[in-house]
Structure 1
């Protein structure tokens, strides 16, 4: 019998700090499958940090053309995460802020809580986290700073460091 993994959520954004907004949200489900959506920026979402674009590689024009409306992304998140009731993030402070902004502009409330991943981690897991994550990146060829891939990377790192608790 396999135990379900925690659901991980990751958000890529237009930058950091005041004026930034979510541009991509991804989740790694309890079964290890992933899904991610680009988010169409609202007219008032104008902040764009070229340094952030260098990290995630997503151009604003692509969001306008290929992104999904905020309401559709919020409904998808509620559909995906409502039954589980919670998801975890390694950057809770940022991701929770961007998630709140998304739901506010969608005129909806989230049907789940976002919690900090660190509350699930033992001291041994925390100590081994960085090295384990880098090893998984090298082994799997994961493309960093894309929401779905980053969520899965966190989940794989969690899974591998779980062995340290035995």
Structure 2
């Protein structure tokens, strides 16, 4: 079975003025990766509650983050040939992705779709419990983009297997 490519974004907070700070991918081969995004000067919104969740400081973003143009090019390189990636938080992730590409002055070479369109009713019914079981089994640290993308992919795979077995 070919695994879908999953994308996850951690952000400076939610709502108006928020922006992407980390973008992670879980590739079809099961590998995952993530990159921190260096905030632009006018990206000033910062929610301390969001920082408590993801554990990424603004100082770290300025030190280790990649420029928006570099992140946009990397995403196009990774996803251009596939043409599609999936997200469990499409409304937020698509907004942050659009913001990143807009400020990079680059057009995306792929589209982002809601993960929900890949799931049948049996998978949806199993989703939450399966995800929680995987977090415990694998000791996954939530709210980091690469690990969250991989968790989504593993949850997709296991719910599909469980649904097929029932």
TM-score (norm: length of structure 1) = 0.98
* d(CA) in 2 for partners of 1:140, 1:72: 31
Q: Shift of the alpha carbon at 1:4?
A: 1.9
SS in 1 for 2:21: strand
Q: Runs of 5+ in structure 2 lacking a partner?
A: none
* d(CA) in 2 for partners of 1:160, 1:36: 23
Corresponding residue number in structure 2 for 1:106: 104
Corresponding residue number in structure 2 for 1:117: 115
SS in 2 for 1:47: coil
* d(CA) in 1 for partners of 2:132, 2:99: 31
* d(CA) in 2 for partners of 1:81, 1:111: 7
* d(CA) in 2 for partners of 1:163, 1:34: 21
Corresponding residue number in structure 1 for 2:5: 7
Q: Shift of the alpha carbon at 1:33?
A: 0.1
* d(CA) in 2 for partners of 1:94, 1:159: 23
Where do residues 108-147 of structure 1 align in structure 2 (5 Å cutoff)? 108-147=106-145
Where do residues 16-165 of structure 1 align in structure 2 (5 Å cutoff)? 16-165=14-163
Q: Runs of 5+ in structure 1 lacking a partner?
A: none
1:99-127 deviation per Cα after TM superposition (whole angstroms, max 9, x unaligned): 00000000011000000000000000001
* d(CA) in 2 for partners of 1:24, 1:66: 11
TM-score (norm: length of structure 2) = 0.98
